[in-house]
């Protein structure tokens, strides 16, 4: 039993340390946001019937651009109606500027198994 408590204690310390580092990271991240505010952009590639990255976190004001690299058309459609692309044929692009913080789940309305989300902070 002592061993188990010891491990839990150690784990708590590790978690606390991780939290501290994560906190430090956020401070740096915030500075980064301030610098990128001028023209923040981010990319999502569509390959093999999937969005990459599937989940993307960006600062408010970021323009996200999707590029379809498949031989089959896809769409980028927000689940709650915030944005909706036309059919994107091969190499077609769609961009949307995220001006409000929030979580934006989206999918391909032609192949609804394809899902992704943009988190705007």
Partner 1 sequence: MPQNKKDEILHDHNHDGIDRRGFLKCMAWAGTGALCVMQGGVLKSYSMSRANEWNAAKMAGELSFAQISDSHMGFNKAANPDVAATLKAAVDKINALAVQPEFLLHTGDISHLARPEEFDTVDQILRGAVAKDVFFVPGEHDVIGDEGKQYRERYGKGTAGEGWYSFEKKGVHFIGLVNVVNLKAGGLGNLGSEQLEWLEADVKHLKASTPIVVFAHIPLWSVYPEWGWGTDDSAQALSYLKKFGSVSVLNGHIHQIMQKVEGNVTFHTAASTAFPQPQPGKADSPGPMKVPAEQLRSLLGITDVNFVRGQHALAIVDSQLG
Is residue 87 near partner 1 by the rule CB under 8 A? yes
Residues 45-74 that bind partner 1 (CB under 8 A): 48-50, 70-73
Nearer to partner 1, 33 or 78 (CB): 78
Residues 5-44 that bind partner 1 (CB under 8 A): none
Q: Are strands 50-52 and 41-47 parallel, antiparallel or unpaired?
A: antiparallel
Which residues, listed in sequence order, are joined to residue 115 by a DSSP beta bridge? 107
Task: Supply the DSSP string of 16-82, one letter for each residue.
Answer: HHHHHHHHHHHHHHHHHHHHHTTS-EEEEEEETTEEESSEEEE-TTEEEEEEE-SSS-B--EETTSS
Nearer to partner 1, 19 or 55 (CB): 55
Binding site for partner 1 (CB under 8 A): 48-50, 70-73, 75, 79, 86-87, 89-90, 105-107, 109-113, 115
């Amino acid at each position: 039993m002592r061993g188990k408590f010891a491990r839990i204690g150690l784990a708590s310390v590790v978690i606390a340390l991780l939290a501290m580092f994560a906190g430090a990271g956020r401070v740096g991240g915030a500075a980064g946001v301030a610098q990128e505010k001028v023209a923040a952009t981010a990319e999502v590639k569509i390959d093999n019937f999937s969005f990459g990255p599937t989940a993307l976190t960006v600062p408010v004001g970021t323009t996200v651009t999707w590029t379809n690299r498949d031989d089959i058309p896809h769409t980028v459609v927000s689940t709650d109606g915030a944005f909706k692309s036309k059919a994107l044929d091969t190499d077609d692009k769609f961009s949307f500027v995220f001006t409000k913080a929030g979580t934006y789940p989206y999918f391909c309305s032609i192949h609804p198994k394809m899902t992704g989300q943009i988190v705007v902070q």
